[in-house]
Amino acid sequence: MKTEIYYFTGTGNSLFVAKKLKELLPDTELIPIVGCIKNENFTVKGKNAGFIFPCHGLTVPIPVRDFFKRIDPSSADYFFAVVTRGGSVFKGFKILDDYLKKSGKCLNAAFTVNMCLNDPKLYYFTVPTKDEKEEIKKNALRKISKISKIILDSGDYHEDDNTGISFSNNAFLNKILEWLVPFATHFISPKIKKYFYADSKCTGCGICEKVCPSGKVKIVSGRPVWMPDVKCYLCYSCLNYCPYEAVQIYSKFWMKSYTEEKGRYPHPYAAAVDISRQKKL
């Protein structure tokens, strides 16, 4: 039974999970979501269809939502989603289920896999040590093995979307932020004209342009420019794959950015070329 795994990745965590899951599932094809959304309509052809992507602002990333607006899932019988995260709660499985229900389908299985945090603007971000990376990898492989067995059995499985790190110990405040953060991620942050910038360490090497999945970053006169008329996916590829750590995030009155003080995290098994390949179907 053919399985299609549709993936989106910013810094390689979700690509790592997709590749490892492919190794455990027979007759499986990896398909990049970013390449698919260039088509106005896209038909799922596998009998099993999986979606692997990172948690963005507690919810589904922008390109994944765009993808679900375009797909025809009618030929598939079993659907699963795997979300990679830095430990935060994820509130997006219902969104995917609602999209599928429009075609008379449902999300049969939903999983999360904890990976290294890749958001250097946060004050608590730290570059993981070699031992920490190995421990996270070991736990992730154990979880991926469990996921593969459930998928092979076409099993129903739904993880509790309240598990993970919350914003505070105040339940009421968490409820507000769990609504506000996804709203800001999808409707406010992508429209901010000054979100990223390149500091004096920039050499104009062009890697930020190569890895940017939406085409927002362009090298103009030897410097990266974030094009105002192009949607930003907030994947932080440009931030984490810059070899000189020259790409930064502006601080806002509502958000202090620590990128100038922090290091970076690209997945150790995902090079810049691996990220850029997802732009081609």
pLDDT at 176: 64
> Cα 219 vs. chain centroid, distance in angstroms?
24
pLDDT in tens, 200-256: 999 999 999 999 999 999 999 999 999 998 989 999 999 999 999 999 999 988 789
Judge contact between 225 and 219, C-beta under 8 A: yes
> Cα 251 vs. chain centroid, distance in angstroms?
22
Closest CA to 88 of 108, 59, 131: 59
The answer, yes or no, to whether residue 166 has pLDDT greater than 60, is no
Closest CA to 191 of 141, 243, 230: 230
CA distance 63 to 213: 9
Share of the chain above pLDDT 90, in %: 78
CA distance 74 to 44: 7
Ordered structural domains, the chain, with CATH: 3-158 (3.40.50.360), 193-279 (3.30.70.20)
* pTM of the predicted model as reported, rounded to 2 decimal places: 0.93
Judge contact between 150 and 119, C-beta under 8 A: no
CA distance 4 to 28: 6
- The confidence band for 1, taking pLDDT boundaries of 50, 70 and 90, is confident
Q: What is the mean pLDDT of residues 175-187?
A: 65
Closest CA to 235 of 204, 265, 201: 265
CA distance 110 to 107: 7
Average pLDDT, the chain: 91
